[in-house]
């Protein structure tokens, strides 16, 4: 981490986030960025199947039902799975900016245990943007959208180009994604970002 700040607080000079003019309207489902994604992919049998909806500004809400396959302790969600749900929710915010970004840093507070079959109600917003760095924050509640807080996270996402995935991803999946019209549509939507 030499030369890097561990802080998740935006530095002086960071700007408020700007919602992309073509971002989905508040209440609209965002959809999955990749059908095999462990967080949001509908075709991923082991995944969380998290569904996110656009909110006002650069914010969103998301829901994820904890399944038996997500246990750590008996009957309780694994902390890493909850961190994944937070990561996915925070990552989805970048769609509202029309910026492709990957998680650089994620800090999670586990406030109360989350039993299997519970719906985790997440809300997230981008706090600020500084160059390629996107600072965001999320909260997960149980028992309803206004229920008690179970998890919280703050994160730093770093903007990348589509080439990031093409250079680093395994060939088979990259080739399949490049040949998939739905995936091409997602990539094109990012490319129109001014």
**Binding region for ligand DCC (CB under 6 A):** 4, 33, 87-88, 91, 100, 102-105, 131-133, 156, 158, 160, 162, 186-187, 190
Min separation Cβ 143 and ligand DCC, Å: 26
In the complex with ligand DCC, which residue's Cβ is closer, 68 or 172?
A: 172
In the complex with ligand DCC, which residue's Cβ is closer, 110 or 190?
A: 190
The SS3 call for residue 187 is helix
Min separation Cβ 132 and ligand DCC, Å: 6
DSSP assignment of 21-79 equals: TTSPPTT-B---S-TT-TTT-TT-TTS---EEEE-SSSEEEEEEE--GGGBSSTTBB-H
Q: Measured between alpha carbons, how far is 93 from 89 in angstroms, rounded to an integer? A: 7
Cβ of 142: how many Cβ atoms within 10 Å?
20
In the complex with ligand DCC, which residue's Cβ is closer, 76 or 162?
A: 162
Min separation Cβ 81 and ligand DCC, Å: 13
Strand partners, 119: 65
* Whether the Cβ atoms of residue 148 and residue 133 lie closer than 8 Å to each other: no
Min separation Cβ 23 and ligand DCC, Å: 15
Min separation Cβ 102 and ligand DCC, Å: 4
In the complex with ligand DCC, which residue's Cβ is closer, 3 or 45?
A: 3
Q: Measured between alpha carbons, how far is 182 from 194 in angstroms, rounded to an integer? A: 22
In the complex with ligand DCC, which residue's Cβ is closer, 53 or 133?
A: 133
Residue with tokens 């694994």: 78
């Amino acid at each position: 981490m030499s030369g890097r700040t561990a802080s998740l607080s935006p530095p002086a000079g960071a700007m408020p986030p700007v919602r992309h003019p073509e971002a989905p309207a508040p209440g609209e489902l965002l959809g999955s960025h990749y059908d095999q994604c462990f967080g949001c992919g509908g075709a991923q049998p082991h995944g969380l199947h998290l569904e996110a909806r656009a909110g006002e500004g650069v914010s969103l809400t998301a829901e994820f039902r904890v399944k038996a396959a997500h246990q750590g302790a008996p009957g309780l969600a694994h902390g890493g799975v909850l961190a994944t749900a937070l990561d996915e929710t925070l990552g989805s915010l970048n769609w509202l900016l029309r910026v492709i970004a990957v998680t650089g840093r994620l800090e999670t507070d586990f406030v109360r245990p989350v039993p299997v079959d519970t719906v985790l109600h997440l809300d997230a917003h981008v706090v600020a943007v500084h160059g390629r760095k996107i600072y965001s924050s999320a909260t997960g509640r149980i028992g309803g959208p206004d229920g008690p807080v179970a998890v919280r996270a703050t994160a730093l996402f770093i903007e990348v180009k589509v080439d990031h995935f093409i250079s680093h991803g395994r060939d088979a999946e990259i080739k399949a994604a490049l040949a998939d019209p739905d995936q091409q549509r997602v990539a094109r939507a990012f490319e129109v970002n001014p």
